[in-house]
């Protein structure tokens, strides 16, 4: 199942069952990997090497089988670890410690002042910020701390590798869990940014407003995954100007 923690500091408190009090303030959910940092950080490549090593060393598979099964699991399950759990009964937490938690993130991800400024400019009385990842919480925490933006997010909903079967994006249950945890009742109050086509398509179908991040230079899908497609998180400023400080569009409109 999915699980959530609120507050990303050292006092993080699991809130698996209670969730937050519902509020009428919309929530902007951010994916973590290849979304908060660019693909040029090469985290995906580092992860890929460790996944290959796991397949070959831990499962005793050949290089050819590793390539074939990785593709098969990703295609059929959307998350390689899901395929490993289903077909090989592996321990997802051990996998996480040998793959995601073993990535040398310190050498790949640096503090990002531009991202920090973007998040700083968002008016938290107009929209609340929440992390929403298919990685495990240890990885999500490391990423936002290295980027220097961990203080902007109220909480994180992540794939709980301690509980099988795994629940992850784009399963409806995962979107439901994120809403419950973030304390938002209406699908129309949920905004979401992710670099994954399938996750954005899933969010869109679930009734959220989804923004597909397709970095400049990467191939664009033949048809959009969801309502919006952007090349940079900076475009959120023009896409949702009412979420940013200094923009009183809604206030002035209400007086007309």
Q: Which residues bind Mg ion (CB under 5 A)?
A: 31, 33-35, 195
**Closest CB to Mg ion among 5 and 195?**
195
DSSP string, 160-195: -TTSSS---TTSHHHHHHHHHHHTB--GGGEEEEES
Residue 177 beta carbon to Mg ion: minimum distance, rounded to whole angstroms: 18
| C-alpha distance from residue 235 to each of 13, 104, 146, 150, 238 (Å) | 33, 30, 23, 21, 6
Residue 195 beta carbon to Mg ion: minimum distance, rounded to whole angstroms: 4
DSSP 244: B
**Closest CB to Mg ion among 169 and 180?**
169
Residue 178 burial (10 A CB sphere; 0-12, 13-18, 19+): buried
| Longest CA–CA separation in the chain, Å | 69
**Closest CB to Mg ion among 31 and 189?**
31
**Closest CB to Mg ion among 33 and 189?**
33
Residue 158 beta carbon to Mg ion: minimum distance, rounded to whole angstroms: 12
Closest CA relative to residue 169, chosen from 127, 140, 149 = 140
**Closest CB to Mg ion among 35 and 144?**
35
The 3-class secondary structure across 5-26, one letter per residue, is: EECCCCCCEECCCCCCCCECCC
Pairing mode, if any, of strands 2-6 and 13-14? antiparallel
Residue 149 beta carbon to Mg ion: minimum distance, rounded to whole angstroms: 16
The answer to whether 216 and 94 have CB atoms below 8 angstroms apart is no
Residue 68 beta carbon to Mg ion: minimum distance, rounded to whole angstroms: 24
**Closest CB to Mg ion among 31 and 177?**
31
Residue 33 beta carbon to Mg ion: minimum distance, rounded to whole angstroms: 4
Q: How far is residue 193's CA from residue 9's CA, in Å, rounded to a whole number? A: 23
Residue 213 beta carbon to Mg ion: minimum distance, rounded to whole angstroms: 8
- For Cα atoms 178, 183, 184, give the angle at the middle one, nearest 5 degrees: 80
**Closest CB to Mg ion among 31 and 100?**
31
Strands (E), the chain: 2-6, 13-14, 27-30, 128-132, 155-159, 190-194, 209-213, 228-230
């Amino acid at each position: 199942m999915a699980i959530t923690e609120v507050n990303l500091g050292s006092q993080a408190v699991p809130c698996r069952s209670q969730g937050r009090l519902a509020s009428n303030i919309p929530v902007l959910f951010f994916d973590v990997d290849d979304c908060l940092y660019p693909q040029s950080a090469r985290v995906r490549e580092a992860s890929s090497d460790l996944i290959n090593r796991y397949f070959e060393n831990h499962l005793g598979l050949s290089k050819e089988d590793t390539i074939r099964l990785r593709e098969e699991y990703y295609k059929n399950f959307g998350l390689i670890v899901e395929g490993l759990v289903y077909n090989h009964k592996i321990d997802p937490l051990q996998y996480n410690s040998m793959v995601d938690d073993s990535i040398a993130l310190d050498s790949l991800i640096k503090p990002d002042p531009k991202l920090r400024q973007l998040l700083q400019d968002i008016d938290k009385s107009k929209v609340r910020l929440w992390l929403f990842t298919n990685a495990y919480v240890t990885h999500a925490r490391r990423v936002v701390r290295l980027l220097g933006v961990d203080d902007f997010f109220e909480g994180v909903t992540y794939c709980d590798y301690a509980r099988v079967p795994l629940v992850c994006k784009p399963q409806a249950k995962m979107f439901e869990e994120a809403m419950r945890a973030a304390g938002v009742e209406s699908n129309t109050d949920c905004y979401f940014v992710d670099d994954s086509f399938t996750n954005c398509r899933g969010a869109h179908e679930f009734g959220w407003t989804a923004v597909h991040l397709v970095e400049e230079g990467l191939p664009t899908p033949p048809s959009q995954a969801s309502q919006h497609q952007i090349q940079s998180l900076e475009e959120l400023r023009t896409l949702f100007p009412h979420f940013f400080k200094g923009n009183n569009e809604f206030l002035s409109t209400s007086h007309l």
